[in-house]
Amino acid sequence: MLNLFLCFLGITAFIKSYYCTEIYTESQDVSIVIGETAVSTFHVREPDTLNESLPIYFTSDNPDVITEVSNITIFNDTDFFNVVVTGKAAGHTTLEVITDIKDIDLREAFLRVTVIRSYDLWIVCLIVGWVYFAAWSLSFYPQIVENYQRKSVVGLSLDLVVLNFWGHTVYGLFNFGLYWIPQVKREYFNIHPLGVQPVQLNDCMFSLHAIVAAGFTFAQCFVYERTEGLSVFAWTFLGVTVTFLSGCVSAVLLDWMSWLTFLYQCSYVKLAVTSTKYVPQAFLNYKRKSTEGWSIGNVLLDFTGGLLSIMQMFFLAYNNDDWDSIFGDPTKFGLGAVSVLFDILFILQHYVWYRRDNDYEPVGQPVQEDEEEESNEIET
């Protein structure tokens, strides 16, 4: 009898939870300009399970960004209600629905509100973002073309090629895992229930393209003429990071670490690669006193993408009044700045310090030869 009673209680609890009232909105993201008003619709599922009426309250984690939202009351025949949000100051806030009854499902009852200063500046940020995305995507090809035309990779650091391929591979794992693997996505939203998907489809496409392009450059190093192998530094770096990530995989298989944490470790390896991969190429140029074999087109496109990326960060920070996105997380800004500084170094090496003036004939030489020929004709 006791087992039947416990089973009855379990079934009752399940039915109650399944048919409980749920409040949700289909679109949690709202973007408005200061002074602008937006209306969001919240739906009520199974409202007939309410006894009579239900007071609805709203709370904001940054009340200075939007005007106060008035409380409302819903009834057992309410299918939906509208919430009016008005921007008061630039910034971000999360508006959540709360009630006095614990049985109401409010997991999807919130809005992520972004208030910006100007739509025009937002459009500029969007354009800048696509331009630097294109510049970074195209930056792989000048080096590939130059290797093909020269039938040689002499002057191109093998360390840079290998580390670049390795960095894009591990970062691709991070993007692919967070975007496509349901278990990883569940782990992320369990930690950040009000968060947004951190990886978008264009991030995955860029990573896939970068892996293929960097891998093609890597393959060229085994086909065309080269004079150097992988340095002790590169072998050591690869050995340490591969061992580290292998240990992380073992920890996941032993349930000591989640797959989400493992993917974050992959992103940290990518950060380490980006911070160090340009050093071998800069040293090789210095040692050879030449940049021949190292495509300046690659550098100029990478410099353009990096500079525009930093500009977009500042534009967004101003438009959203969110300077913490730059100075609160210095990793992204710092890595972008490091890449730009290395590009400036490569530009100086190519155009100033190791410039090959002997590749060009003096402008006056043909004219002088023509004058000598004319004088010889006159004498004859």
Question: CA nearest 152: which of 228, 211, 210?
Answer: 228
Q: Is 374 exposed, middle or buried (0-12, 13-18, 19+ CB in 10 A)?
A: exposed
Torsion sign across C-alpha atoms 223, 226, 230, 233:
negative
Which pLDDT does position 108 carry in this prediction?
87
The residues, any chain, with a CB within 8 Å of residue 42's CB and separated by 6 or more, are 23, 24, 25, 80, 81, 82, 83, 97, 109
Per-residue tokens: 180: 């496509």
pTM over 0.85: no
Domain ranges of the chain: 21-116, 119-356
Domain 21-116 is found in CATH 3.40.50.1860: no
The confidence score (pLDDT) of residue 11 equals: 46
| C-alpha distance from residue 109 to each of 56, 78, 96 (Å) | 11, 15, 6
Residues contacting 333, CB < 8 A, separation 6+ = 310, 313, 326, 327
**CA separation, residue 261 to residues 201, 250, 285 (Å):** 21, 13, 38
Alpha-carbon gap, residue 86 to 3, rounded angstroms: 55
Q: Residue 329: its pLDDT value, please?
A: 54
Q: What is the pLDDT along the chain (380 residues), one digit of tens a residue?
A: 555 544 544 444 444 444 478 888 888 888 899 999 999 999 988 766 767 788 889 998 888 889 988 898 888 888 888 999 999 988 888 899 988 877 788 888 889 888 989 889 989 988 988 898 899 889 999 999 999 998 899 988 999 999 999 999 998 998 898 888 888 888 887 787 656 667 777 788 888 999 999 999 999 998 888 877 889 999 999 999 999 999 999 999 998 999 989 998 998 898 889 889 999 999 999 998 988 889 899 999 999 988 988 888 888 888 888 787 666 555 567 777 888 999 999 999 999 898 875 444 444 444 444 545 555 555 54
